Structure 1
Amino acid sequence: MQTHVEHPIAGVVYPPAARAEAALASGSWIATTVGDALRASARRHPQRAAFIGEERSISFAELDEATERLGAALLTSGLVPGDRAIFQLGTTIETAIALLACFKAGIVPVCSLPQHREIEIGQLTEQSGARGYFVQADFGTSFDLPAFAESMMARHASLEHLVIVRGERAGAASLQALIDGTPLERARERLARESIGLADVLSFQLSGGTTGVPKIIPRFHAEYLGHSAGWMRRYRIDADSRLIWSLPLMHNAGQLYTLIPAALTGVTVVLMPRVDIPRMLDLIGEHRVTHALSIGPIAPQLMAYPDIARHDLSSLKLFSTLSRSDTLEAHLDVPCSNLYGITEGLLLGSPADAPAEARHGTQGRSGCDDDEIRLLEPGSERAVPEGEIGELCFRGPSSLTGYFASPEANAQSFTTDGFYRTGDLVTARRIGDALYYTFEGRLRDNVNRGGEKIGCEEVEGHVSQHPAVADAKLVAMPDPFYGEKGCIYIIARPGMQAPDVQALGQFLVGRGLAKYKCPERVMVVDEFPLTRVGKVDKPAMKRHISGILEQEGKP
């Protein structure tokens, strides 16, 4: 089958044709588009629930029809295949409809978050050249996202089409009105006129980086389907499985683990708009969920929840988490395994029937046999011996071929033979006849707050603009729920008092920084610790704040 690109986007580094053809031949790519995969699933399972939400469920037949109507309506409104659209939506059935409709129409979602503000949305809009903008009207109660979207559209001329999800606003299109106003047969005829290529861009995902400029990762139709299918094989997920998801559906993990499996195989997915541990456990029992996954705060909150025994978890075959799966397994009495994932294209995990030493002592192995993994000495291209720590580097059918419109980042991100450098340190461990990989730490300077990567350099730059701050350094401090939070070390200007956490947060949000990026502890110092070669010693700062937390009884 042809892998040519129907709707090329300037700035996208497309996979070479030879790589795409080889991936299709091996099954690492799936020879269809996401839209056609959904249509096929709807034919196989028309009355099966596709998504079960807090307020309603939607069958595959209903999902297919709603996405046909919305996709056609978006094209009729003036968007065209290859156009980009900013997405600031939560985890709801409407978000699934909006994403899948864009996939059918060839419109490329820019997978932002509702928590992003002027800085992030401004940068993403300028980078992507987005013309569309989807926002959720009822996301939270303290911030008016539609009004924010209007203000961003006034600042950025490329933004022309505003779609309000779960609400209405004068002068903007309502998602529901777009669906209702488009007859099904006319919608199908309109979409049939657009040919979507297997290697066309499906979505723009975001990389968690160390600077303030978000890097955009293009993902492609056949590639993304194959990547998700590999994860499903690794976890023994099939069409009769049931999944649950309570984190952002915009995330790469949310789409690969729930959205794409639903479209591809007819899996039923339970969606939760927010993390609520007792409710999650109730839903697992009520809907006979078979697989659950934790990135960020879910696993720690589960381990702190004392009433596990009152919930029926008998349907659950596997619970996957970033780390500490042995402790979680003992608490839930359900098979648990560690995992690793990076939006640039590698997923590691272990199924329930893997040896305990693999599930608990490593992050697993890839679900794609064509993935190549190397562990290199940091800063070199020399491989480390098996069992020693090295930088995780990989190349494969779903690996990044280049960040969007970012030649400088691309020049720094790959080895000379095309392996992506993750900046993560791992060891390789042989269990049986397979190599498994254990996460050991990071080379890159960021804070991983519940799965959201916060670039230290970005936050430091904004904190240093405070009139009372001479210099600032952000480090990760341990947190029992989020894994890490940000602690900012501040040197105050002479004669001035450094801001406390609340005042600093107000200052940063006022500058347009997302609230979740604001430091959650301030340490005022006279000077930063230095290494023997005179560089700022961030590991010493991490040890310092970790010691203080231990003294305070906050491990």
Structure 2
Amino acid sequence: MYNYNSLADVIDEKCFEFGNREALVFPSHQQTYTYIGFQTLTMELAKGLLAIGVKKGDHLAIFSLNSPKYIALEIAAARIGAVLVCINTSSTKSELLYVLNQSESSLLFISNGVKGNSYVELLNSICPELAANSLQLASKELPHLKTVVMLDNMELPGILPLHKLLKKGEKISTEEIYMVQKTVSSKDPLNIFYTSGTTGNAKGVVLNHFVTVNNAIFSGERMQYEPEDRVLLCLPLFHVIGCVLSTIAGLFYGSAIVIAERFETSKIPCYIMEESCTVLNAVPTMFNFLLNSDLNPYDLTTLRKGFIAGSCCSEELLLRIHNELGIETIANLYGQTEAIGITQMAAEDSLHHRLTTIGRPLPGVEVKVIDITTGERLPVGEKGELCVKTVYLMQGYFKNQEATNKAIDIDGWLHTGDLVSMDYEGFITIEGRIKDIIIRGGENISAVEIENTLKRHPGILEAAIIGVPDKLLGEEICAVLIKNTTYATPLNKETILTYAKGELAKFKLPKYIFFTDSLPITSSGKIRKNILREQFNKEFEKLIAVKQ
């Protein structure tokens, strides 16, 4: 049932099978790689890594936008048993410093970044030793880091250009690469992905070859990826939904991966039309941006399928994706970095199930719903925490056994922190997050329920519900809203409450309503409610103190 080959072994099989079919298309740089060409690039990169002394088990970090080189480095590292550490490109100075040190990365691949956000300048700010122009780095702040490689076509002090790395690799034979590749086991670590970090420092999730290969196989099967598909990659490769569930899964089934460097609302419709993309995978925020832009000039009729993941999605948004973008088989996909894909819709599932549930568990995944107080398993239909026992489970959080033990109990169940219910057919519905429960006067109130209700109002683009301190009730409900700029009727607290009173019980109505132009979100589309709570709680604590 399961594939026990390493990732590089499976990719080699697929490159042989699909040969001269397109594997990677990079429209912004007018680059195209066939499967054979892609295999050659991964081999050249692996040779370069061996030539500069990279060994099995070494940690190699990458801080870059999406590109063919990024994908090829994933496979090149896999060939020699190195571990690719994928860093969020939205990282601040302190976050980048933390991840590079915590991951013990000895080599960093970096691209120049984007206008207004230079990754190289950010690195220089924490590693001024680069200016010494020594290719053997000795940094006080980054003691593990010894080499930095530039992926873009430019030469900078202290940074090894990619073309020179490839040149060094010319002395390494293909036979040497395959000899090293044979030593790589399916249970060897493959990647470290850092969690979104909505609370505290991000944790490094260690995934091995087995979990990545097999989760991609079964997710791709449920998505019905095929050689005729052209998958638009606009999700970041530093997340499993971009790397494993879009890119690797697509390649396993012979699809072409059309690469966007990053999500840009104005460019995505162009790529879909010009490259005849058939698959669009994205997070709810991305779909919202697309649907609220002018799509009239673009022919998007090639789109047939896609998944939506990363955060909770409303029935209304799914229906708009289905009706307005014409994606007939839009699939809710639920997962966590710690276990990659957990549940997913199948092509044959009904539209009703697509709109209202996150599907059923993938093969190899066992689930249960437990009472959040007692830990007892709950009967069908009742709400509780989703727990998962899966063959795709992480090896643990890197150098953080305490956090690993908190996430995975003694019996091997991963506690997701998500509130769900499950029906008799095994379809699961997200009801909210345990931490998203507001306790107001003894009543447990789901923030997600209120958010979904408010987002059904045509004048509201996005909603975040948080609990704020209240002297009398313990917590009160606070709504932070983004207006839909295309909605003509004026919106204020009174109009919102008038609408909400017809949809929600009185005790679920927000006491406080604020409008904002943007919300703090993670790169996977989740609203960073810890930041909102911190911001608003301070203000409300002041109010309580004044009233006292």
Shorter-normalised TM range: 0.7 to 0.9
Alignment: residue pair count: 445
Measure how far apart 1:263 and its partner are. Answer: 4.4
Instruction: Spell out the pairing of 1:36-75 with structure 2 (5 A cutoff).
Output: 36-53=9-26, 54-55=28-29, 56-75=31-50
CA distance in 2, matches of 1:521, 1:375: 30
Instruction: Spell out the pairing of 1:527-538 with structure 2 (5 A cutoff).
Output: 527=541
Query: Is the 2:231–2:255 contact (alpha carbons within 8 Å) kept by the matching residues of 1?
Result: yes
CA distance in 2, matches of 1:371, 1:476: 36
2:83 to 76, 85, 108: 108
Residues 98-126 of structure 1, C-alpha deviation per residue, up to 9 Å, x if partnerless? Answer: 22211222211111112213322222233
Instruction: Spell out the pairing of 1:65-464 with structure 2 (5 A cutoff).
Output: 65-137=40-112, 139-150=113-124, 151-152=126-127, 153-166=139-152, 167-183=154-170, 186-194=173-181, 195-308=183-296, 310-322=297-309, 323=313, 324-335=317-328, 336-345=330-339, 346-368=341-363, 370-430=364-424, 434-444=425-435
CA distance in 2, matches of 1:480, 1:69: 50
Measure how far apart 1:187 and its partner are. Answer: 4.3
Percent of residue pairs identical: 21
Q: CA 1:179–1:266 in structure 2 vs 1: closer, same or farther (change >3 Å)?
A: farther
Query: Is the 1:291–1:316 contact (alpha carbons within 8 Å) kept by the matching residues of 2?
Result: yes
CA distance in 2, matches of 1:48, 1:198: 27
Secondary structure, aligned partner of 1:61: helix
Letter in 1 for 2:273: G
Residues 59-115 of structure 1, C-alpha deviation per residue, up to 9 Å, x if partnerless? Answer: 222211111111121122122110112221111112112222112222111111122
Q: CA 1:198–1:126 in structure 2 vs 1: closer, same or farther (change >3 Å)?
A: same
CA distance in 2, matches of 1:517, 1:72: 44
Measure how far apart 1:527 and its partner are. Answer: 1.8
CA distance in 2, matches of 1:275, 1:190: 35
Secondary structure, aligned partner of 1:422: strand
Residues 496-552 of structure 1, C-alpha deviation per residue, up to 9 Å, x if partnerless? Answer: xxxxx99xx9xxxxxxxxx9997699657352689xxx9xxxxxxxxxxxxxxxxxx
CA distance in 2, matches of 1:98, 1:268: 18
Residues 201-225 of structure 1, C-alpha deviation per residue, up to 9 Å, x if partnerless? Answer: 0101122345322211111112211
Q: CA 1:365–1:183 in structure 2 vs 1: closer, same or farther (change >3 Å)?
A: same
Q: CA 1:163–1:246 in structure 2 vs 1: closer, same or farther (change >3 Å)?
A: same
Measure how far apart 1:435 and its partner are. Answer: 1.0
Q: CA 1:476–1:382 in structure 2 vs 1: closer, same or farther (change >3 Å)?
A: farther
Measure how far apart 1:51 and its partner are. Answer: 0.9
Residues 13-53 of structure 1, C-alpha deviation per residue, up to 9 Å, x if partnerless? Answer: xxxxxxxxxxxxx32xx121111222222222222221111
Letter in 1 for 2:354: R
Secondary structure, aligned partner of 2:38: helix
Q: Normalization by structure 2: what TM-score?
A: 0.74
Q: Normalization by structure 1: what TM-score?
A: 0.73
Q: Which moved more, 1:271-280 or 1:80-89?
A: 271-280
Measure how far apart 1:299 and its partner are. Answer: 1.0
Secondary structure, aligned partner of 2:193: strand
Letter in 2 for 1:367: L
- Residue segments in structure 1 that go unaligned for 5+ positions in a row: 1-25, 449-474, 482-500, 506-514, 535-555
Q: Which moved more, 1:520-529 or 1:92-101?
A: 520-529
Measure how far apart 1:256 and its partner are. Answer: 1.3
Q: CA 1:378–1:400 in structure 2 vs 1: closer, same or farther (change >3 Å)?
A: farther
> Match for residue 19 of structure 1?
none
Secondary structure, aligned partner of 1:243: strand
Q: CA 1:40–1:526 in structure 2 vs 1: closer, same or farther (change >3 Å)?
A: closer
CA RMSD of aligned residues (A): 3.3
Q: CA 1:241–1:479 in structure 2 vs 1: closer, same or farther (change >3 Å)?
A: same
CA distance in 2, matches of 1:228, 1:529: 51
Query: Is the 2:79–2:180 contact (alpha carbons within 8 Å) kept by the matching residues of 1?
Result: no
Query: Is the 1:210–1:444 contact (alpha carbons within 8 Å) kept by the matching residues of 2?
Result: no
Q: Which moved more, 1:332-341 or 1:386-395?
A: 332-341
CA distance in 1, matches of 2:9, 2:348: 33
Measure how far apart 1:420 and its partner are. Answer: 0.3
